[in-house]
Amino acid sequence: MKYHNLTIKTGALACVLLLSACGSGSTSPSGADSGQSSGTPSIPNEGTPTTPGTGTPSNPGTVIPEQPTTPVPPVEDAVIVVDGKTYSSISQAESAIQNNSLVQFGSGIFTQGMTIRADNVKLVGSDGTHFKGAQVQNKGTFVIAGDSVSMENIECSGVSVPNENGACIRQEGKDLHLSGVYFHDSEQGILTAKDTGSLIIEYSTFENLGKGGLAHAVYSANERLEIRYSKFYKSKDNGHEIKSRAKETLIEYSEIASLDSNDSRLVDISNGGKLTIRNSMLEQGPNTANYQVIGFGMEGVDQGVPQSVELTNNIILMERAKGNVLLGLPSGSGSFQISITGNDIIGTPFNDKAEHNIEQNNNIYDSRSDYGLGAFPALPSIGL
């Protein structure tokens, strides 16, 4: 068995992610919201990596850092604390938020959404903070119109609006930072407006999101999208796990997997730009609706920015029953800068091997067993 700069061995592959729920308190793995607030995704880790970060492609000595958290005092269940003052009403708390406010949510289910208009606001949840079925303005649970807002440790599910793109977050202000959020079982996870600066997602999980092929787990129109240390599972109803119109999209140290869902592309960079995916695990499942694992510039290329794709040191499983293409490109893409190197690629035959020198610059495995990986739906661990 050959590997490129990897320390994943057969024994380490015992640490996998399984489709079935393990342990108590997990939400329903069927795609339906169970109604219980667990704060944990329904596809848990099975086993424990021998060392945090073991199996990270190309960088086995790197320990994925622990999620940094905002040090805040605990708050009571089912309340909102704004700058030290306690509210039992979402609307009263919303009115109290000003620039630079710290907003804390107690444990419990909240069924009313919020609009955040102020800048530099921090939204911090407790263990068990769950916004369920909440929406404002027929847009989503949180409409974030302020600039430089951050959110951490909040669960959101059950979002639905009349135009079928209800999101846990609608970003309308510039520069949003998410850490430790769990968004699931809604029409959309995040939907951003144009001219909204950056969106950074870290230490988060998105699953069972999508609607009618037009809503997705993440739908970014930012200038720059950064994703790291995060998991995206089972987008549904022909939705993408990540759809980005950003000029620059960076995905690193993350897992993106169809598993048994009827999703579309794992990553869709609709208008091209600069795409970098590195040190990550991608799995396109047997029921996915689109044969392209990654689409780039398939809805018209932004001629105002350089066009480049870099896929480096990833583990890529292609398991669509009717075959796969790793990278879909529009006609006239000959001038694009394409680099696909150092990846472990596992799966059914695809037709872009020669075009991008995939056979020369990567390791190709015909099957899971050839790679030393267990049967579907086991996924290799990258230490998350």
> Is 220 among the domain residues?
no
Q: Is the same domain home to 97 and 30? A: no
Only one residue has tokens 């040190």, namely 279
At 174-192, the pLDDT tens digits run 999 999 999 999 999 999 9
Say yes or no: 38 and 177 in one domain. no
Q: What is the pLDDT of residues 38-54, one digit of tens each?
A: 444 544 333 223 222 33
- pLDDT for residue 53: 31
- C-alpha to C-alpha distance for 151 and 158, rounded to whole angstroms: 19
- 214 lies in some domain: no
Q: Based on the domain organization, do 61 and 81 belong to the same domain?
A: no
Spatial separation of the C-alpha atoms in residues 74 and 351, rounded to whole Å: 55
Tell me, yes or no, whether 273 and 167 share the same domain: no
For residues 241 and 289, give the distance between their C-alpha atoms in angstroms, rounded to a whole number. Answer: 13
Query: Residue 304 pLDDT more than 50?
Result: yes
**Does residue 56 share a domain with residue 116?**
no
Is 30 a domain residue? yes
Please state the rounded mean pLDDT for residues 134-141.
Answer: 98
- The answer on 83 and 2 residing in a single domain is no
- Is residue 120 in a domain? yes
Structure tokens at 272: 């091209």
Beta strands 80-82 and 102-105, pairing class: antiparallel
Q: Do both 382 and 233 map to the same domain?
A: yes
Q: Comparing 35-39, 74-78, 211-215, 274-278, which segment has the lowest mean pLDDT?
A: 35-39
How many domains does one find in the chain?
2
74 is in which domain, residue-wise?
68-202
Average pLDDT over residues 96-121: 98
Same domain, 181 and 320: no
- Map residue 102 onto helix, strand or coil: strand
Over 50: is that where the pLDDT of 365 sits?
yes
Within-domain flag for 53: yes
CA nearest to 21, candidates 40, 35, 49, 48:
40
Q: Are residues 76 and 88 in the same domain?
A: yes
- Count how many Cα atoms sit within 13 Å of the Cα of residue 221 in the half-sphere of its side chain: 10
How crowded is residue 95: how many other Cβ atoms within 10 Å of its Cβ? 11
Shared domain for 231 and 142, answered yes or no, is no
188 and 234 in one domain? no
Question: Can you tell me the distance from the alpha carbon of 66 to that of 383, in angstroms, rounded to the nearest whole number?
Answer: 11
d(CA 211, CA 217): 10
Q: Report in angstroms the alpha-carbon separations of 47 from 24, 84, 303.
A: 15, 40, 47
Q: What is the pLDDT of residue 354?
A: 60
- pTM (2 d.p.): 0.86
Are 373 and 233 part of one and the same domain? yes
pLDDT over 90 (residue 22): no
pLDDT of the residue at 352: 63
Residue 222 within any structural domain of the chain: no
pLDDT of 218 higher than 60: yes
